[in-house]
Amino acid sequence: MSKIPMTAHGAEKLREELRYRKSELRPKIIADIEEARKQGDLRENAEYHAAREQHGFNEGRISELESRLAAAQIIDITQMPATGKVIFGVTVDLADADTGDELRYRIVGEDEADAKNGLISINSPIARALIGKSEGDVAQVIAPGGTRELEIVQVHYI
């Protein structure tokens, strides 16, 4: 099984969701199933079928979370030497050469990506263009909307 890069923060979020699903949500769903069983004929009991469906979804998500955590290569960027070089897990301040817009992105694993909140996947065009560059460098990003030039203003190891 190949390892999947993940930040320490991303791994902690997955662990918290796993804990919630196993220790809080699972017992609640089981209680809901038991309560619905007491109501009689299971063939026509919509509450029972909904609870069973919710149980199946929850168990599937638990399995998925356990699998992702088992395959994770957790990288704690705060333990890395701050060299000013763009690597997995860093937060990068950028300036768009064309528009002058200032951008801030954190390069994270696939499971953590959320572009609206400034978290971009290591496999995204922007991250691929930035990896290996240093503060002051200009990266050419080939994206579906065209080529953009982004200057690396600052790299944060936070």
**pLDDT of 112 above 70:** yes
Helices (H) and strands (E) in the chain, counts: 4, 7
4-75 and 77-156 share one fold: no
Asked whether the predicted pLDDT for residue 143 surpasses 80, the reply is no
Q: Would you say domain 77-156 falls under CATH 3.10.50.30? A: yes
From the candidate CATH numbers 1.10.287.180, 1.20.1070.10, 1.25.50.10, 3.40.50.720, the one assigned to the domain spanning 4-75: 1.10.287.180
pTM value? 0.81
- pLDDT tens sequence across 50-89: 999 999 999 999 999 999 999 999 999 989 888 989 999 9
Q: Map out the domains of the chain as residue ranges.
A: 4-75, 77-156
SS3 156: strand
Helix axes 26-37, 46-71, angle to 10 degrees: 160
Condensed to tens digits (0 to 9), the pLDDT of residues 7-53 reads 999 999 999 999 999 999 999 999 999 988 888 777 778 888 899 99
The residues near 6 (Cβ < 8 Å, ≥ 6 apart) are: 14, 68, 72, 73, 74, 75, 108, 109, 111, 112
* Close Cβ partners of 77 (under 8 Å, ≥ 6 residues apart): 7, 8, 87, 88, 89, 90, 157, 158
